[in-house]
Amino acid sequence: MSDEKHTWLLGHRVYVATTVAIGCFLGMALATTADTESLCQAYGEFAQEAQELNPDYVPDTVNTDGWEATQQAWQRLFPTVTLVLCFLHTVLGIQRLCRRYSQLYETLTDNLWRLYRSVNRRQFAQRLRRLLEWAKTHVTDAPLRQKLLNLKAKAPHFMVAFDFPKAYRTSNQVDRLMDYQDRLLYDMRYFHGTSESAHQALRAMALLWNFHPYCRKIQTLPPFSASPFEDLNGFRYHDNWLHNLLIAASMNGRRSPKHEKHKMQQN
């Protein structure tokens, strides 16, 4: 699951390309613009590090919003990946257009989430057809009606998720973690140094989140996990969260420039 939000570096708008899964930051990198080239480079950092761990790594699906540059970047990095359009962004976009009409707002919200809860492609198509027929006769606001009618063109991008039962269908996970990201960036008044220092700050932010300890109450509930790292990996190296972070982040000098230079001299 991936998304990006803008932030500021010395008064210039920049973007944070963020990849998450199972409550963990998997990638977080700075992009100078929100075009395909910059996002491809930013998301490419996640792709490179994932393939260092597993050279055969290729995600089956990725859930994104409707930003075309994001989708193109993922298709360049992983040509076989299936793009799943976030249903939540569509619901929120429709809700914004009908907040003035409370009864219509409630009816549309119920119908949209009923559409989302379809169990297969056929049921999704049937419920969508009925929703669009209803919209043509009951929705008089032109922009709102057009927004609903646009669902027909988006339907194939929603329905691909039925081929991947474990695929994310909404961006809730990335939104939650980006809320945390937003709060930290606001508290530090965004970035005041170089692009490199901003990049390191983002990586530190991701590490601290991934290894931060849950409260005692959460740790006593199934699956008795101590941190997001353990949720993702199914194990912990140490009961102390800081020891767990240090062990997980340590590679005993492997892949460091000094180590690579030493290997070349030996060869």
Where is pLDDT greater, at 146 or 252? 146
pLDDT band at 2 (very low <50, low <70, confident <90, very high): confident
Q: In the predicted model, what is the mean pLDDT of residues 155-174?
A: 94
pTM: 0.85
| Tokens of residue 78, six digits | 């992983």
Give the alpha-carbon dihedral of 64, 5, 88, 148, to 10 degrees: -90
Where is pLDDT greater, at 5 or 143? 143
At 200-244, the pLDDT tens digits run 999 999 999 999 999 999 999 999 999 999 999 999 999 999 999
At 76-90, the pLDDT tens digits run 999 999 999 999 999
pLDDT band at 150 (very low <50, low <70, confident <90, very high): very high
Identify the pLDDT of residue 259.
42
> HSE (CB half, 13 Å, CA atoms) of 219?
12
- The closest of 9, 20, 79, 5 to 210, measured between CA atoms, is 20
CA distance 235 to 77: 29
Give 146's contacts (C-beta < 8 A, 6+ positions apart). Answer: none
Q: In the predicted model, what is the mean pLDDT of residues 20-49?
A: 95
Give the alpha-carbon dihedral of 161, 164, 169, 173, to 10 degrees: -160
| Residue 264 pLDDT exceeds 80 | no
